[in-house]
Amino acid sequence: MTTTLDAPVASEHDAPRSRSVNGGIFSPRQLISSLPAAFRKLDPRHLARNPVMFVVLIGSAVSTLMAFADPSVFSWVVAAWLWFTVLFANLAESVAEGRGKAQAASLRQVKRDTVAKRLDPNGGVQEVAGTDLKVGDKVVVVAGEVIPGDGDVIEGIATVDESAITGESAPVVRESGGDRCAVTGGTTVLSDRIVVQISAAPGESFVDRMIALVEGASRQKTPNEIALNILLASLTIIFLLAVVAIGPMGLYAGNAQDPIKLIALLVCLIPTTIGALLSAIGIAGMDRLVQRNVLAMSGRAVEAAGDIDTLLMDKTGTITYGNRQATELYPAPSVPAEELAEAARLSSLADGTPEGRSIVDLCCEKFGLDAQPSTEEKAAEFVAFTAQTRMSGLDIAGSQIRKGASDSVITWASGLGASVVPAVTDAVNEIAQNGGTPLVVATVERGAARILGVIALSDVVKPGIAERFAELRAMGIRTVMITGDNPLTARAIAAEAGVDDFMAEATPEDKLALIRKEQEGGRLVAMTGDGTNDAPALAQSDVGVAMNTGTSAAKEAGNMVDLDSDPTKLIEIVEIGKQLLITRGALTTFSLANDLAKYFAILPALFSGIYPQLDTLNIMRLATPESAIVSAVIFNALVIVALIPLALKGVRYRPSSASQLLGRNLLIYGVGGVVTPFIGIWLIDLVVRLIPGIG
């Protein structure tokens, strides 16, 4: 039989989070520091993944060759600004990746070579290198030592410094037997002794995956991004065919077109702006999550977060703090409180969960009982809790002592002849209605079964969570609380938290069934959880946000991990997902709209010599055909740099309907995309016309 452990001295919920969100502000210094990476990305093998910019690269190379063959100020200026267009596109991606690499650099400091104290099958301790650990190995870590790898605490309790991972300076408690048992390699144990079972192989740890993800090395394009790439590639092919057809048309009209002008026309007509910024938008979306201490395992999850309809939240540890503590004993009539306390203590001596330890502490503090088991008690047979029986206890000296869910223990005791008095059921109902969890205690001695009374476990709803759920409701998201508690307790917590619906006495199969039912109705489902029993539901959901305080199984199943273990942060995740989609749509609208102004700049310049009537379309009154083309090419390149801050920061999201969002984007980015190039090209032409050989 295992003995009780010392009570936790602190909890991650005892102090407010102090981590500040930083690194999201764009500065010109980032442009300069990212230039070397932008030059390296001129490699055709890299640009081949972006069809729009690959066409611009080919056009730049051909223009440069023509400038060498037939030098002129016009040809060299056009060739140079075409190269700048490709370079600025690479710069946008490099700036986005650079911020992620800065995050990765700080994470690499967490990784260090450690010596692990591995337990062998005989109980001995063997010192091995941390890199030699395998999944399933058990290691001992004591105060002052670094945890050598990711895993779960299977024995003991300790305070752990996770500041290198989460940025939170306050130590947190990690303990066996609960949902706060997962530990991360590279964090430091500050007190006590724990045994950790390794759950990740070397090179596949949580920190390793974080580094790869924030650097963008393992980023894959999302379905939305792939679809947009196909659209951009299609538009590029259409404009390429159109521009190629202009050459024979000019020859037929008796005015052959300069190939450099045709290349400039093609580059200005294809959607270079969004083509250049598309990758940066996706990287920046994941980076914004990292800044908020959320690790997204894929860009697909970020996109899905912007479209979710239903949010399922586990009660314990998410809506409530999750550290339920025994607060009161309610003895049955004619049962002394001391007898109930002694039975509650005995039934919890071998219970390693936080709840079990709190029961022992309550009985010892209020009734002066001994926290340590006697020799006889150590030899007793412990009955473990199971999902089927929903109770646990102790068999000692011919007596059976059980505690657990009220209906399970009452059914067990009644089946052995115990009578159920109204005072017990009244206490159960009162505790449940007040949002607590009632545990009934019963015994069987000399063949006689008795119900001794009720233990009240109290949990606390996190402050401000009702307001946060109201925000989700304003976004059109339905919230559902899932709990294993009885319906009365679930209803009380749901009312206090302000959720739309709840599921009580839920099993892992019930959670899966609910998620599949929602998905069959065409809805996207998000789920937060921290326990091993949440893992199947996290894996099935479209967005599965696992708490960092949770088990390794939960973190492996989810496609996001919240390092702060704040389930209400899903609201920010949803906002970032919506912001990603809106930013991509807004810049696509702007990119396609600003082509209109380029038509008015370049087409009259190309054909006014053949068709003088087209000069009336030169509404900007650009000086010469050459200055018009150069001005359009320069604007086409500079607008990419101008939009990098917006691509990184994202378009601001305000909760509203899809039609309102569409209308606002069309007004701001559609109209703005038409007007801005007219002004920009006209201003650039005022300077370009002063260059000899162009103006």
Residue 604 included in any domain: yes
DSSP label at 146?
A: B
- Structure token digits, residue 130: 């941390």
Residue with tokens 């009162």: 430
CB 393 within 8 A of CB 405: no
User: For residue 387, is pLDDT > 50?
Assistant: yes
Q: Which residues contact 570 (CB under 8 A, 6 or more apart)?
A: 305, 311, 313, 472, 526, 528, 545
pLDDT band at 156 (very low <50, low <70, confident <90, very high): confident
Residue 676 included in any domain: yes
**444 with 485, same domain?**
no
2 is in an annotated binding site: no
Long-range pairs for 381-389 at CB < 8 Å and ≥24 separation? 381/1, 382/1, 382/2, 382/349, 382/350, 385/351, 387/507
**453 with 466, same domain?**
no
CB 107 within 8 A of CB 210: yes
Residue in 314, 459, 485, 595 annotated catalytic? 314
**635 with 503, same domain?**
no
Residue 18 included in any domain: no
Rounded Cα distance, 465 and 481, in Å: 12
Residue 207 included in any domain: no
Torsion 172-176-180-185 (CA) sign: positive
Looking at 460, 481, 499, the residue that finishes a domain is 460
Rounded Cα distance, 544 and 512, in Å: 12
534 is in an annotated binding site: yes
620 is in an annotated binding site: no
**171 with 250, same domain?**
no
**580 with 667, same domain?**
yes
Rounded Cα distance, 287 and 282, in Å: 9
Rounded Cα distance, 501 and 504, in Å: 10
**132 with 171, same domain?**
yes
Quote the pTM value: 0.64
Helix (H) or strand (E) holding 78: helix 73-108
258 is in an annotated binding site: no
**328 with 448, same domain?**
yes
Query: Number of structural domains, the chain?
Result: 4
User: For residue 164, is pLDDT > 80?
Assistant: no
Mean pLDDT score, 182-201: 84
392 is in an annotated binding site: yes
Q: Which residues contact 434 (CB under 8 A, 6 or more apart)?
A: 492
CB 267 within 8 A of CB 56: yes
pLDDT of residue 22: 39
CATH number at 179 reads 2.70.150.10
**402 with 498, same domain?**
no
pLDDT in tens, 445-462: 888 899 999 999 887 777
pLDDT in tens, 260-314: 888 988 888 888 888 888 888 877 777 788 778 887 776 677 878 888 889 888 7
Rounded Cα distance, 484 and 626, in Å: 74
**71 with 127, same domain?**
no
Residue 21 included in any domain: no
Mean pLDDT score, 76-85: 93
Q: For residue 625, what are the domain limits?
A: 28-100+223-289+575-689
pLDDT of residue 455: 93
Residue 135 included in any domain: yes
CATH number at 397 reads 3.40.1110.10
Is residue 459 part of the annotated active site? The answer reads: no
**310 with 327, same domain?**
no
CB 554 within 8 A of CB 531: yes
pLDDT in tens, 96-133: 777 666 666 655 655 556 788 888 888 788 888 877 88
Query: Does residue 609 or residue 244 have the better pLDDT?
Result: 244
The DSSP bridge pattern shows strands 310-314 and 525-529 to be parallel
CB 604 within 8 A of CB 55: no
Looking at 542, 563, 584, the residue that finishes a domain is 563
**336 with 363, same domain?**
yes
User: Could you tell me where the DSSP H helices lie in 196-271?
Assistant: 206-215, 223-252, 259-269
Helix (H) or strand (E) holding 429: helix 422-433
Sheet hosting strand 437-445, strand order edge to edge = 325-331, 448-458, 437-445, 399-405, 391-396, 381-383
**593 with 612, same domain?**
yes
Looking at 129, 164, 199, the residue that finishes a domain is 199
Residue 1 included in any domain: no
Q: Please provide the average confidence, as pLDDT, over all residues in the chain.
A: 80
Residue 295 included in any domain: no
657 is in an annotated binding site: no
